Amino acid sequence: MPTCAHCTVTACRTADMDKIPQNCPMRDGDAMAESLRKYRDDGLLPFFQAAAAIEAEGYCQWPRLREVGEFCQRMGYRRIGVAFCIGLQREARVVVDVLRRYGVEVDSVICKAGGVDKAEMGISQCHYVRPGTFEAMCNPIAQAEFLNQAGSEFNVLVGLCVGHDSLFIKYSAAPVTTLVAKDRVLAHNPVGAIYGADGYQKSRVEAPDQR
């Protein structure tokens, strides 16, 4: 079972194979070789090379929004999609406007597309944000399908809920990147809870039975 998060060696950075732990995934030579084969044989090499170039050229210089624009430009995309949460509509508008300046057409689809009440999917009132009212369900599958129909070549997520983002990725025909990870408590900065997991955020991140 790989435990890379707790590794104190990280021999992968230096390819020092003499120092790798017993459970290091690099010991599975067949799996590593197969992963490299897929980059080459599955037509993914240009995509990977563009990502590596953006990493190097913008290292500690470009914010992620620019990285997305530069990546789309480098890949020669003509049409991209933005799937966003209604709570970040203002931010999505800025994202769309910025990305258009990179010479691409941008289609955007809101999370409440369809205007379907949560009850249609068997959601009980106790799991409504505002019980007793009409509450439109998030519809990530529709978001993905609308962008598929539009012919997007690359999709950008702006604040979709945990799980909803997974469904979007599952049904998106195009590759997906996350620009904004939703965190309503920390101004969409989920890493803040990680930095404070042993301090100020401890009571917020632990499961109830651990407190």
* Overall pTM surpassing 0.85 (yes/no): yes
pLDDT tens-place string over residues 137-189: 999 999 999 999 999 999 999 999 999 999 999 999 999 999 999 999 999 99
Percentage of the chain modeled with pLDDT above 70: 99
Split at pLDDT 50, 70, 90, the class of 200 is confident
Distance CA 171, CA 148 (A): 9
Structure token pair of residue 132: 């007793």
Structure token pair of residue 94: 């800025």
pLDDT tens-place string over residues 32-52: 999 999 999 999 999 999 999
pLDDT at residue number 180: 98
- SS3 category, 205: helix
First to last CA, the chain: 28
Helix 164-171 and helix 140-150, axial crossing angle in degrees, nearest 10: 30
